[in-house]
Amino acid sequence: MASALRNCSRPLLAAAAASPALSVPTSASAARVAARAALSQPSRRSLAHATSKYGGIFRCTLIPGDGIGKEITDSVKEIFEHLNTPVEWEQFDVSGETHGSEALFKEAMDSLRRNKVGLKGILFTPIDTASHNSWNVAMRQQLDIYASLVICKSLPGFPTRHKDVDFAIIRENTEGEYSGLEHQSYPGVVESLKVSTRAKAERIARFAFDFALKNGRKKVTCVHKANIMKLGDGLFLNTFRKVAEDYKSSGIQSNDMIVDNTSMQLVWKPQQFDVMVMPNLYGNIVTNIGAALVGGPGMVPGCNIGREYALYEPGCRHVAKDIMGAGVANPTAMVLSASMMLRHLGLDTHANQISNAVYQVIQEGKVRTADMGGKAKTHDVTKAILDHL
């Protein structure tokens, strides 16, 4: 058991921009968490220290993405420049729609491997079978950024159907239905493989419990469909239960819930959830439900974390091609994702200034984009944030 744990890579935990009180743990703090759980933890440098840094400036990769990506990352760049944030961008205008972008995608990946940290919009993935596989998925798999973290939290000043929503969704990012292994075994018959492994189920479960422990959360819920997929989801659930035993002494409660019931419970009584951990596909669906509960895709920040790399992006992965170029996109999710990135780099002062300014704009309610019931443009929201810095 101990050797299996040592071979299971474990992340540094990311802070959520939805709560300024959260902080990015160093590897030392992660080790203390593990010690309390009576687990072995290899020593290593923090991701922030491993990031490319020259003359006090952090070099980070920027991939604006498709759809509204350029508009909302431009907001981030303007805010960073206004604050003299010590971040230098290596920008790559990769597009999931443009044929011949493979070379640029490779350059962007080389940049991410070099810089260790990046900010990105969403890359469009065509549905037709002749197109390439998702580059969003390729990034997660090639960099092994296996943990997707999204915080769904009610924001003061912006009323929604449910009050006091505050839960974290942790999604396994690298396997399951997103393995990309499909074939036509006979004309009209297609097989699509869902790959599940104990090692990856264990490391995402430990990520979830470590996150709960570090951030003062009390319960971790495993979301699954093990009643039907008894081997695939059964492996995920049974591994979760074994990991949960290691954290009982820390006071972290655990339970599990079938994914269809979870979807109903989320729209009925979302306050019952604290930390949720689940396989890849369910995480995609549940994240969209969670975002809708607190204001929509323009409001929810997110990040993808692995042993070596961290990639920050809006938590609800929408390209929003329908409003591309109209100047009406809500930059909130991207700006808060960028503030999460700053905390990861240890730039807490800059991160708090930005996130607090965003919350003040939301609470005042004077400047809101159409998705929030207002008429403001993207640049209006950006200016309002700048006015509060």
What pLDDT does 318 receive?
Answer: 82
- Pairing assessment for the beta strands 219-224 and 253-258 based on DSSP bridges: parallel
- Entry pTM: 0.86
What pLDDT does 134 receive?
Answer: 84
pLDDT per position as a tens digit, 231-266: 999 999 999 999 999 999 999 999 999 999 999 999
């092994």: which residue's tokens? 144
- Superfamily (CATH H level) for 2-387: Isopropylmalate Dehydrogenase (3.40.718.10)
Radius of gyration from C-alpha coordinates of the chain: 20
Above 90 in pLDDT, residue 73? yes
- Report DSSP state, residue 98: S
Q: Whose CA is closest to 150, among 353, 336, 23, 306?
A: 336
Phi then psi dihedrals of residue 8, to 5 deg: -90, 110
Which range among 19-28, 210-219, 309-318 has the greatest average pLDDT? 210-219
Share the mean pLDDT of the chain. 87
What pLDDT does 131 receive?
Answer: 58
pLDDT per position as a tens digit, 275-284: 999 999 999 9
- Give the residue with greater pLDDT, 137 vs 131: 137
Banded model confidence at residue 6, pLDDT cuts 50, 70, 90: very low
- Pairing assessment for the beta strands 87-91 and 57-63 based on DSSP bridges: parallel
Q: What percent of the chain lies above the pLDDT cut of 70?
A: 85
Structure tokens that stand for 348 in this block: 């807490």
